[in-house]
Amino acid sequence: MSGVTLTIVSLLPRLQNTNGDAQNAAVLAARATWAGLDARVVDVDRRDALPERVDAIVLGSGSDSSLEATRGTLLTMHDELRTWGTEGVPILAVGTGWELLSWGIELADGSAVEGLGVLPGRAVPRADRVTGDLVVSSPRFGTLVGFENHARDYVGAEGSPLGRVRAGSGNGRDAGQEGVVMGSVIGTHLHGPVLAKNPSFADALLGIASERARLEYRPGERTAIVDGYAAAAREAQLSAAGVALSASGPRA
């Protein structure tokens, strides 16, 4: 042990935990621990609960009824979020958590919720809700699988997507793209939680966090067992989504 404890912040887990998104923080902490690193998860529901050290951040998705409450709390951390993003702290935002970090959210009734402007693009209404398997080929993170469940498309981030859609809708509007990436800040529709289904995606984020903390991250022996379960689940989902394994690109 190096004496440095990796601190993974789970933002607003009580409001933003659709499909277990908040558990992405637990995945990061577990994999770091299996690699022989000290790691902890800190649940943060208000600004004064932020720890002094922040190595990675997870912000899950919530219901539309919680948009204003979540936005209000995130606004109190606006400066910190921008600083973390600028400094390269990995931030994973899913669903409405991602939308709230964007330029804004247009609602079906014609009203709008202003975003924090950390990520480019905005969420706009679609004719019907999309649900189902989502498979994405990411040049940075390999083939990602998950579940999408959203009533809005995402526009304005065509220049920096997380990846190309192989099955599902993703950002919609026939863009064939999913998510958005700016540095180490990532927004996505992928639920699951996404890091449990895509171990190498989790490892990539841990690699970024560890390097910033001047630590070396190498997946531990125990990850091989867990990753075997994840691989079986991924293959089943790829098959169900009609994506041939031989054409699915690098595995994640």
Paired tokens of 245: 């394994």
Binned at pLDDT 50, 70 and 90, residue 3 comes out as confident
- pTM for the whole thing? 0.95
H or E stretch at 133? strand 122-138
pLDDT score of 145 more than 60: yes
199-236 pLDDT tens trace: 999 999 999 999 999 999 999 999 999 999 999 999 99
In sign, the C-alpha dihedral spanning 56, 63, 252, 35 is positive
pLDDT at 245 over 60: no
For the chain, how big is the Rg over CA atoms in Å?
17
Of 215, 197, 209, 220, give the one whose Cα is nearest residue 57: 209
The 3-state DSSP class for residue 55 equals coil
Q: What does the pLDDT read at residue 1?
A: 52
Superfamily of domain 5-247: Class I glutamine amidotransferase (GATase) domain (3.40.50.880)
Residue 13: pLDDT above 60? Answer: yes
pLDDT of 246 = 46
pLDDT at 251: 46
Look at residue 166 and tell me whether its pLDDT is greater than 50. Answer: yes
| Domain boundary assignment for the chain | 5-247
Task: Write down the pLDDT at residue 250.
Answer: 43
